[in-house]
Each structure stands twice: as structure tokens, then as C-alpha cells.
């Protein structure tokens, strides 16, 4: 229960990395606001957290909309009293085949990837940091990718956005570190879908 009393907003919480992150935070005692695009994919994540004795609510949001991001952060304050933790996990993956050929790249796809993968986390930080400052500090963990460090075959927009997230995290850490806000960027490689650890399947 290392995070008892902490409040987290997790974006991309319906996906593999996001759902695992939300469950782990809850297992450590955090109260979680789980967010993803509208739909029914968040419900099983929240249900599994509650069944394990944790605290979680679902709040669908489109990360390309600043108004929806602001409402998401406001939900954490209204539901649990503030915000301490922000894992930026969400990424635009639904149309990934449009990212395979730079020479045929539709600029509209590039702009959408930038809006969700880079602009979305920036806006989440913009609205989260004041809430963290009000509570004396906090932690932002942005999910980059090894593709953002080394590039990848046929992932042009995705790799570019993930590389930029590392710079965003460093700038936030440099600017707000003295005010007790930590900002880190983790860069996973390939993730096996639907694999869950014994820890994630256990109750506490």
C-alpha cells in the first residue's frame, strides 16, 4: 500500500498498458480515475479494481479535446479530492496502418497522431500540475516507446510523437522539480496483449 491516500488519473486505461497501470496503482492503495475513449472497455477495468478491494471510477474522454481533458482532471478533484499521479498512457493506435508509408502519408493522420499522442499529454499536464501543486507535489509518468528512441520501420508519426514526449517530460521536470513534481518518461518495447501477472489477478 505504498500509494495509500494518493489519487491518480490514468489515460488509455482500457488498453493493455493502461489497464495494468490502473490496476497496479489501485493495488498499492491509490484511488484511480480510469479514462479512455467512450465505450464499454473501461467497465471491466474498473470492475476488476473494485473486486480486488480498490477504488476506481471510469471517466471517458477524448484526449484531442482540451475541454474533455479539463473535465477529466476536475473529476479527480470532485470524486476524490485532488490529484497526485498522472500516468499518460494513451496513444493513437486504431489507424496504425496509415502510418506505414511516409510517401503516402495523409497529413490528416499525422495531425491526429500529434493531437492524441503529444498534444493530449501536454494538455493533461497543463491541467494536472496546478492540482498537484495544491497538494504539495506529484508525479507524472509519460509513456514513450523504444520506437521514439531508435525509430521503427513504418511508424513515422508514432515514433516522432513518442520521441517528443521524452523532451516534454524533461522540460516539466526541469521547470517544476523544485516544486516537488517529478516527471519521467518510460519507454517500453513490444507488449504482449492480454498477459496479466499473478499479482494483477490476485486480490488483496
- What are the catalytic residues? 158
Residues contacting 82, CB < 8 A, separation 6+? 7, 76, 131, 134, 135
Question: How far, CA to CA in Å, does 23 sit from each of 8, 15, 78, 166?
Answer: 11, 12, 21, 24
What grid cell was written down for 50?
473494485
Q: Cell 509513456 maps to which residue?
A: 143
Residues contacting 167, CB < 8 A, separation 6+? none
User: How many Å apart are CA 196 and CA 193, to the nearest integer?
Assistant: 9
* C-alpha distance across the termini of the chain, in Å: 10
Amino acid at each position: 500500500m505504498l500509494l495509500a491516500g494518493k489519487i491518480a488519473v490514468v489515460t488509455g486505461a482500457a488498453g493493455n498498458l493502461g489497464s495494468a497501470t490502473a490496476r497496479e496503482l489501485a493495488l498499492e492503495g491509490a484511488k484511480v480515475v480510469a479514462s479512455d475513449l467512450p465505450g464499454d472497455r473501461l467497465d471491466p477495468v474498473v470492475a476488476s479494481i473494485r473486486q480486488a478491494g480498490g477504488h476506481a471510477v471510469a471517466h471517458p474522454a477524448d484526449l484531442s479535446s482540451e475541454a474533455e481533458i479539463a473535465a477529466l482532471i476536475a473529476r479527480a478533484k470532485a470524486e476524490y479530492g485532488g490529484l497526485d499521479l498522472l500516468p499518460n498512457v494513451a496513444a493513437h493506435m486504431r489507424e496504425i496502418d496509415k502510418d506505414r508509408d511516409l510517401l503516402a502519408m495523409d497529413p490528416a493522420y499525422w495531425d491526429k497522431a500529434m493531437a492524441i499522442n503529444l498534444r493530449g499529454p501536454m494538455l493533461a499536464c497543463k491541467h494536472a500540475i496546478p492540482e498537484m501543486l495544491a497538494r504539495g507535489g506529484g508525479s507524472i509518468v509519460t509513456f514513450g516507446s523504444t520506437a521514439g528512441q531508435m525509430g521503427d520501420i513504418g511508424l513515422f508519426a508514432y515514433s516522432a510523437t513518442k520521441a517528443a514526449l521524452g523532451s516534454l517530460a524533461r522540460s516539466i521536470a526541469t521547470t517544476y522539480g523544485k516544486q516537488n513534481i517529478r516527471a519521467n518518461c518510460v519507454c517500453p518495447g513490444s507488449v504482449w496483449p492480454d498477459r496479466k501477472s499473478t499479482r494483477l489477478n490476485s486480490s488483496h
